[in-house]
Amino acid sequence: MTVFSRGFRGKHHRDDRLPPGQYLTQGFPVLSAGPTPRIPLDRWEFAIDTETEQVHRWSWEELTALPSETPTVDIHCVTSWSKLDTRWRGVSLDVLFERVETAADYALVYCYGGYTTNLPLEDLLDGKAWIAYGYDGHELAPQHGGPARLLVPHLYFWKSAKWVRGIRLLHQDHPGLWESAGYHNYGDPWREQRYADD
């Protein structure tokens, strides 16, 4: 039974591009679990580790030499803000997975600083995800995940792991940091999957 709030009118954010329960922000809020790691580019690397222990690695030079894309996407944070038409530069995961042989169904994304998040591998492929290193025409700032973060905008933004270091491919799903701390395992904003019991 809905409880009505006497005298509450609300601002009626009813943009078709806003998932349920979200409001628009013009800023770019930051949400993270710990200090911002600083990773020198000459020691930075990104890896994909498969379930058969094959490891594919890219240095910063190798990653940024790959063909990049400039997706413009809407992003939705579980704390209810959404930001429309954000402009990124990065490498599609499809490019990085070109030579990866895998039969795994799940991915565990791990990061400099220790953060992890999990998602089905299929949510990273077919043009749905990038390793992003540019934002709004500039380098990606450390507080927003620079030098590089995962960008997987169709899920709540905690899945777009900042300071990404690699992706481990697994036969079984393994919950990440927030997914182990009460947040939803999948996190589809259009189905408002915020918390474990949603």
Partner 1 sequence: MTRWRTVRLAGAHDETAGSRTLVFDAPDWPGHLPGQHVDVRLTAPDGYSARRSYSLASAEGVELTVERIDDGEVSPYLTDELRVGDQVEIHGPIGGWFVWRPATTPVLLVSGGAGIVPMMAMIRARRAAGVRAPFHLVHSLRSPGRLHYASELLSPDPGVRVSLLYTREAPGGHPRPPGRLTAADLDGPGAACFVCGPTGFVEAAADLLVGLGHDPGAIRTERFGPSGS
CB of 89 to partner 1, least distance (A): 19
**CA nearest to 112, candidates 40, 9, 26:** 40
CB of 37 to partner 1, least distance (A): 7
| Residues 101-160 contacting partner 1, CB under 8 A | 113-114, 143
Task: Give the largest Cα separation in the chain, rounded.
Answer: 60
Contact residue for partner 1 among 6, 43, 99, 138 (CB under 8 A): 6
Minimum CB distance to partner 1 smaller for 70 or for 79: 79
Choices 32-40, 99-107, 117-125, 165-173 (CB under 8 A): range interacting with partner 1: 32-40
Place of tokens 């777009």: 160
Task: Please give, one letter per residue, the 3-state secondary structure of the chain.
Answer: CCCCCCCCCCCCCCCCCCCCCCEECCCCCCCCCCCCCCCCHHHCEEEEECCCCCEEEEEHHHHHHCCCECCEEEEECCCCEEEEEEEEEEEEHHHHCCCCCCCCCEEEEEECCCCEEEEEHHHHCCCCCEEEEEECCEECCHHHCCCCEEECCCCCHHHCCCCEEEEEEECCCCCCCCCCCCECCCCCHHHCCCECCC
CB of 118 to partner 1, least distance (A): 15
Q: Is 181 in the site for partner 1 (CB under 8 A)?
A: yes
Minimum CB distance to partner 1 smaller for 37 or for 134: 37
The C-alpha torsion from 79 through 85 and 14 to 156, rounded to 10°, is: -30
| Residues 72-111 contacting partner 1, CB under 8 A | 79-81
CB of 172 to partner 1, least distance (A): 22
CB of 46 to partner 1, least distance (A): 20
Minimum CB distance to partner 1 smaller for 28 or for 186: 28
Q: Is 3 in the site for partner 1 (CB under 8 A)?
A: yes
Q: Is 33 in the site for partner 1 (CB under 8 A)?
A: yes
Q: Which residues bind partner 1 (CB under 8 A)?
A: 2-14, 21, 23, 25-37, 79-81, 113-114, 143, 177-178, 180-182, 192, 194-195, 197-198
